[in-house]
Amino acid sequence: MIGVLGAGAFGTALAVALARDGRQVMLWGRNEGTMAEMARTRETARLPGVTLPEGIEITADLAHAAGAETLLLAVPMQTLSTVLGSVSAPLDGQKLVACCKGIDLATGEGPSHVIAHAKPGALPAILTGPSFAADIARGLPTALTLACEDAEAGLVLQHVLSTKTLRLYRSTDVTGAEVGGALKNVMAIACGACIGAGFGDSARAALMTRGFAEMTRLAVHLGAKPETVTGLSGLGDLALTCTSELSRNYRYGQALGRAEGFDPSVTVEGAATARAVAALAEREGIPMPVSGVVAALTEGKVTISEALDELLSRPLKEE
Ligand SMILES: NC(=O)C1=CN([C@@H]2O[C@H](COP(=O)(O)OP(=O)(O)OC[C@H]3O[C@@H](n4cnc5c(N)ncnc54)[C@H](OP(=O)(O)O)[C@@H]3O)[C@@H](O)[C@H]2O)C=CC1
Ligand SMILES: O=C(CO)COP(=O)(O)O
């Protein structure tokens, strides 16, 4: 049995893909009324046009869902610690796969460390890479990274979670996978802002490239392998998110670039993560100029033209 905690767009899309491939899935969401409605209609407003297969058990009972051998954690990053804290069972020996992307603002940690602190006896892993929920739920193909420090558990998870349309590559470099997934959202905000402000495609390509350099710098500093950052979790997801209006982070950036408002109920992981990265970069003494500018933009501390000036006026250096 696979349990999915978080019945938003991504958790539901993963549940649909896995159930279609014959897995028994339990999908947990916090709102009893919403979950009852989802069970009755087999539909969700977060994935219009998608029918939830009968193989998905829909529940609002957290203790029940948390009993599954493999748990996919698909809640927003800034709520992960709270959600895990609400599970009273220790989850010893259970495989906890973070499907969220970001860095916890309170602790400066990625999802695997948040899991390790909340449930020290569990086996943490991360599933990340280019994967819009709408694509996954429609059965469109993609490839993802499944990273787990325990190579044996990683191998098991790779087989449990791969389907005919989701091709999982395994890795033991959890830090590399987490940093790539977290930072690509920050870069997507930067690229959206760049396009929204009318700075053009050349500027966006430059931002993506320098953003990628920043991702690699932080990941390697934290002990990751550079080749992980060039994989699906880093470059793969960066390419997707910085170029598609299906990305919420990109659209949020566009709104910043146009000095327009943005619906605060939409999940935009890159905003809090930019602030977490800026704090981490300062603490560790790592230059992260694009992340710093995104953090300042999201906090309303600089305008889009001040952000551009800040990046362009940095001392000239070797690439
Ligand atoms: N959407 C996508 O294409 C992809 C998303 N992801 C990642 O998946 C994670 C979740 O995103 P996504 O599903 O898109 O987000 P959504 O906004 O679609 O859904 C978020 C879900 O989390 C629930 N939630 C929010 N706060 C809490 C809380 N405190 N306790 C319990 N549940 C809570 C919401 O419940 P409620 O409805 O009651 O508010 C909702 O079901 C993010 O980290 C994102 O980066 C990764 C790959 C692709
Ligand atoms: O992570 C994603 C695709 O891989 C989804 O991106 P957004 O959260 O920006 O929509």
pLDDT of residue 242: 98
Report yes or no: 107 and 145 within 8 Å, Cβ to Cβ.
no
Give yes or no: 317 in active site. Answer: no
pLDDT of residue 172: 98
User: What's 221-239 look like in SS3?
Assistant: HCCCCHHHHCCHHHHHHHH
**CB hemisphere CA count around 158 (13 angstroms):** 19
Put the strands of the sheet holding 2-5 in their side by side order.
56-59, 25-28, 2-5, 70-73, 95-98, 123-128, 142-147, 166-171
Please enumerate in sequence order all residues whose Cβ is within 8 A of that of 153, keeping only pairs 6 or more positions apart, or say none.
95, 123, 125
DSSP helix/strand/coil, 27 = strand
Q: Which of 12, 75, 77, 187 best tests ligand 1's pocket when mutated (most atoms within 8 Å of CB)?
A: 75
Q: Which tokens go with 271?
A: 């905003």
The pLDDT mean for the chain works out to: 98
pLDDT of residue 2: 98
pLDDT of residue 261: 97
Binding residues, as ranges, are 6-11, 30, 101, 129, 131, 133, 184, 237, 247-249, 269
Per-residue pLDDT of the chain (319 residues; tens, 9 = 90+): 999 999 999 999 999 999 999 999 999 999 999 999 999 999 999 999 999 999 999 999 999 999 999 999 999 999 999 999 999 999 999 999 999 999 999 999 999 999 999 999 999 999 999 999 999 999 999 999 999 999 999 999 999 999 999 999 999 999 999 999 999 999 999 999 999 999 999 999 999 999 999 999 999 999 999 999 999 999 999 999 999 999 999 999 999 999 999 999 999 999 999 999 999 999 999 999 999 999 999 999 999 999 999 999 999 999 9
User: Kind and range of the H or E element at 147?
Assistant: strand 142-147
Ligand 2 center from residue 132 Cα (angstroms): 6
C-beta of 100 in contact with ligand 1 (< 6 A): yes
Which residue in this structure is represented by tokens 């997707």?
A: 240
7-33 pLDDT per residue, tens? 999 999 999 999 999 999 999 999 999
pTM listed for this prediction: 0.98
Please enumerate in sequence order all residues whose Cβ is within 8 A of that of 135, keeping only pairs 6 or more positions apart, or say none.
142
- Domains detected in the chain: 2-172 (3.40.50.720), 182-312 (1.10.1040.10)
C-beta of 267 in contact with ligand 1 (< 6 A): yes
Ligand 2 center from residue 88 Cα (angstroms): 30
- Provide the ipTM: 0.99
pLDDT of residue 297: 98
Please enumerate in sequence order all residues whose Cβ is within 8 A of that of 48, keeping only pairs 6 or more positions apart, or say none.
none
Q: Specify the residue with its C-alpha closest to ligand 1, atom 21.
A: 8
pLDDT of residue 318: 95
| C-alpha to C-alpha distance for 142 and 213, rounded to whole angstroms | 25
